[in-house]
Structure 1
Amino acid sequence: MSARDTIFAVSSGAPPAGIAIVRISGPRALPVAAVIAGALPDPRRAALRVLRDPRDGAVLDHAITLVFTGPRTATGEDCVEFHVHGGRAVVAAVEAAIATQPGTRHAEAGEFTRRALENGIIDLTEAEGLGDLLAAQTEGQRRAALRMAEGGLRVLVERWSDDLVGIAARIEAQLDFSDEDDVSDEALGTIAADIAQIAEALEQVLRAPSVERLHEGVRVVIAGAPNSGKSTLLNALTGRDVAIVSPISGTTRDRIEASVVRAGMAYVLTDTAGLTQTPGDAIEQIGIDRAREAIAGADIVVWLDQPGDGSVSDIRVHARCDMSGRETPAGGADVALSARTGQGVEALWELIADRATKLLPQADSVAVNRRQRLLLARCRDALRAANNSDLLIVAEETRRALRALDDVAGRSGIEDVLDAIFSRFCIGK
């Protein structure tokens, strides 16, 4: 298999559909398309063509045909698109006809985007953003992914890289010509200040909430004493019967998770075993241990009739307020509710959403993923280490910071990372 093969695949939704777009990309894209469609239209001008099977001349379909000449294309190569009728048989016939031509093969998952990366049309951060955009299920995920796909992080990385290249040149000048009059003795102080400014800009990005909370959902754990109404509340918050509800104390022995998307935000709600100092048996103790683990890993803890640990993310709930004798909330409760009647459930959701908003990336911010965060932190650490009076150390740490930025953008050899990223893409993207 050669990277210089001419590749093809459906780049629109899977058939059947009203229209299917069959894309061809590579060095032989234009001659291959011409064999099937005859005379091709001028670049970037749509035209109707009759597609024929080169083996016997049989008509395959009537298709809108578009030609894009590299390098200003989606992949950086010559591309042709056939907009055909979206039936499975039509698409299969057109792809089979393309496959008859020498040097062509079906594209692998994410291969069109990978070629765009290799040809400098996009960088790795934009490719990751595109992958997240394809997988987005909530409005928040879509906004964050689109910002990355449109080059939000790329702009920052290029700016930092350009600044560091300029700083590196000044360091080399100081090392080579420090005994000449045209290099100021104050240059080291200026270099240190400029490096510190970039390190602070990196720190601001690293301090912001990560994109993983958008992808994985804000973790909300419901906790409290046995038989305090946790499972009933989980069912009320999800709007479906997720957990078994019973008046028997200790019904919930393990964690029960349910995913919810609400107002463009994803949540993972977790029901836990009741917390008690006197577990009835070993199984109940395991459930309590798992409940404490869930609480420790939670973003927000909803406590039912039980004091929290003082975290600002805690929400105190006075449950079962519809029952006789429980109409008045206990001291310190944030909300009174009845999961059975629905009273107070919306108010609880508002409290959860208010706290979740503070944990998620803002709409206009750049939210980085784990890979990017690790490399940006490596760059920041190198710049902090460059705060040194030895210019040789400053030069080496500056080079180390630049290498980390190159890794963020995918400008250095990271084939294993690329394989992992593009394996998430669909065929034709």
Structure 2
Amino acid sequence: METIFALSSGAPPAGIAVVRVSGPEAGAVLTALVGLLPQPRRATAAVLRDQAAEELDRALVLWLPGPGTATGEDVAELHLHGGRAVVASVEVALQSFPGVRKAEAGEFTRRAFINGRIDLAQAEGLADLLAAETELQRRAALASAGGALSRQVDRWRDRLLGLSAQVEAVLDFGDEDDVSELPPSFQESVSAFAAELQEWLARPLVEPLREGFRVVLAGPPNAGKSTLFNALIEDEAAITAPTPGTTRDLLERPVAIDGVPFTFVDTAGLRDASSDPIELQGIDRARNALLRADVILWLGPEGEGPQDAWEIDAKADLGVHKSSARAQVSAATGDGMRELKCALVSHARELLPAGGSIALTRRQHALLEDALSALTFSGSDPLIIAELLRLARTAFDRITGRASTEHMLDALFGRFCIGK
């Protein structure tokens, strides 16, 4: 396996730049740069020189022999002065060593997975942790990155193995009186197991938390959508004008309110009659956006919005009100805006994973559904039951990565930055 390196800290210029080297040649590379191999796991001040003996930097270096490292391999860390020229010169020197190359996105974490330092569920949690921008996102990601879901899956897997052992006993010793058939408690255990999985499947998914609770503003032209959009995100991102059809495309902005992540979406005004092909395309995109919304704020005529949309009086300062309005606001004066934001935060908290709880991704949710389907059976044929239990176990193994496809791994680790 090749030795890889990358800048693992923030982009220069910075006070310190950390370059990480991982792989079988990490020790030899560090020795060549420093002149000797430092004591393991002890920060050592050293002068770094390239293969032509030119000084590169005066730095702190760490030698971390595997397998007890983040990647499970030998690792060297170079804590450099954080100037662009310093980092560039060290990277050039590293690339000059045979068998050493720059890492690809997510390659350090992928090696940690391959070498058994983390499993797939932990890697997914780590990706979410690196992308977390709010406290809710951080706490949910920490639960998965710390192995909480993995430990739960292991417990489920152990229960499956116990159930499988009972079935195998019937298959192997079915001619003996004491194991001629499965006991009544077997089906009770399976039913209880299936009920527990159903409870987990009822939990909120992690994607709305990761991507932001999606709030789509909809209504006819000149209903005040863009003005309200600007007020919600507290920025003049959308162009506002009295001319109908000013908004032609979707405009999205991620915003955190009281620690809850939102994605607000401004849309083109909805109307059937328009001779402008660009506006018609915008209207089509607006209708598609409604299908992906977690909540729709309807600023049009009362009762004409999508089902379950929130009726909003967006121009309350003009004295026109809806009898069923969920909120009465004036984006122009700011009246009612705080109340609307509080209502959105409260609604989102009900539908997003609770902070610190284990939240499933769509991939994990689908696999848990496969396991539940396998455990929802009728009949008593031990051969069929044994196969269904094996299918359930395979679903659990795919959650943690015991059984995974390269295509799925490429998609996951591609989410990471270079150097992680």
In the superposition, the TM-score normalised over structure 1's length comes to: 0.87
Pick from 43, 54, 58 the counterpart of residue 40 of structure 2.
Answer: 43
Measured in 1, the distance between the counterparts of 2:201 and 2:273 equals 42
8 Å contact kept, 1:308–1:314: no
Conserved? CA contact 2:18–2:78, under 8 Å: yes
* Residue number in structure 1 paired with 2:185: 190
| Corresponding residue number in structure 2 for 1:420 | 411
Q: Which residue number in structure 2 is paired with residue 125 of structure 1?
A: 121
1:284-295 aligned at under 5 Å gives the runs 291-295=286-290
- Hey, what does 2:345 align to over in structure 1? 353
Change in 2 beyond 3 A, CA 1:48/1:309? same
* Structure 1: runs of 5 or more not aligned: none
Correspondence for 2:3: 6
TM-score computed with the length of structure 2 as normaliser: 0.89
Instruction: Give the Cα–Cα distance (whole angstroms) in 2 for the partners of residues 61 and 285 of structure 1.
Output: 60
Q: Which runs of 5+ in 2 are unaligned?
A: none
Q: CA deviation at 1:172?
A: 0.7
Deviates more, 1:419-428 or 1:236-245: 236-245
Secondary structure of the equivalent of 2:418? coil
1:25 corresponds to 2:22: yes
1:259 and 1:266 in contact (8 A); partners too: no
- 1:134-153, aligned counterparts within 5 Å? 134-153=130-149
The one-letter amino acid of 1:201's match is: E
2:316 paired with 1:321: yes
Query: CA distance change for structure 1 residues 199 and 255 in 2, over 3 Å: closer, same or farther?
Result: farther
Offset of residue 345 of structure 1: 1.2
Instruction: Give the Cα separation in 2 of the matches to 1:99 and 1:244.
Output: 49
State the Cα distance separating 1:393 from its structure 2 match: 0.9
* Cα distance between partner residues in 2 of 1:182 and 1:405: 31
Residues 65, 173 of structure 1: CA spacing in aligned structure 2 closer, same or farther, 3 A cutoff? same
**Percentage of matched positions with identical amino acids:** 50
Q: 2:330 is paired with a residue of what secondary structure?
A: coil
The match for 2:68 is: 72
Say yes or no: does 1:370 pair with 2:352: no
CA offsets per residue over residues 123-142 of structure 1, 9 Å max, x none? 11111222222223333333
Root-mean-square deviation (Å)? 2.7
> For the residues of structure 2 that align with 1:71 and 1:422, how far apart are their CA atoms?
21
The equivalent residue for 1:260 is 254
Instruction: Tell me if the contact between 1:257 and 1:268 (Cα under 8 Å) persists in the aligned partners.
Output: no
| Mapped partners of 1:286, 1:28: distance in 2 | 56
Secondary structure at 1:380 match in 2: helix
Would the alpha carbon gap of residues 42 and 336 (structure 1) be closer, same or farther in structure 2, given more than 3 Å must change? same
Question: Hey, what does 2:169 align to over in structure 1?
Answer: 173
Alpha-carbon distance, 1:252 to partner: 4.9
* Conserved? CA contact 2:5–2:100, under 8 Å: yes
* Cα distance in structure 2, aligned partners of 1:67 and 1:268: 44
Return the match for 1:106 from 95, 102, 116: 102
SS in 1 for 2:312: strand
Q: Counterpart in 2 of 1:235?
A: 230
Q: Which residue of 2 aligns with 1:407?
A: 398
Shift in Å, 1:202 = 2.4
Match of residue 294 from structure 2: 299
Amino acid at match of 2:357: S
Q: Kindly tell me: are residues 92 and 222 of structure 1, through their superposed partners in 2, closer, same or farther at Cα, counting changes over 3 Å?
A: closer
Per-residue deviation, 1:72: 1.2
| Structure 2 counterpart SS, 1:322 | helix
Deviations 1:73-103 (A, max 9, x none): 1011121212121222222333333333333
1:199: Cα distance to partner? 2.5
Aligned length in residues: 418
Post-superposition shift, 1:379? Answer: 1.5
Q: Is the 8 A contact 1:244 1:251 kept in 2?
A: no
Contact preservation (8 Å) 1:243, 1:256:
no
Q: What secondary structure does 1:148 align onto?
A: helix
Shift of 1:341: 0.9
Q: Which amino acid aligns with 2:47?
A: V
Q: 1:107 to 1:273 in 2, by over 3 A?
A: closer
Once residues 273 and 75 of structure 1 are traced to their aligned partners in structure 2, the CA distance between those partners, rounded to angstroms, is 48
Residue in 1 that maps onto 2:213 = 218
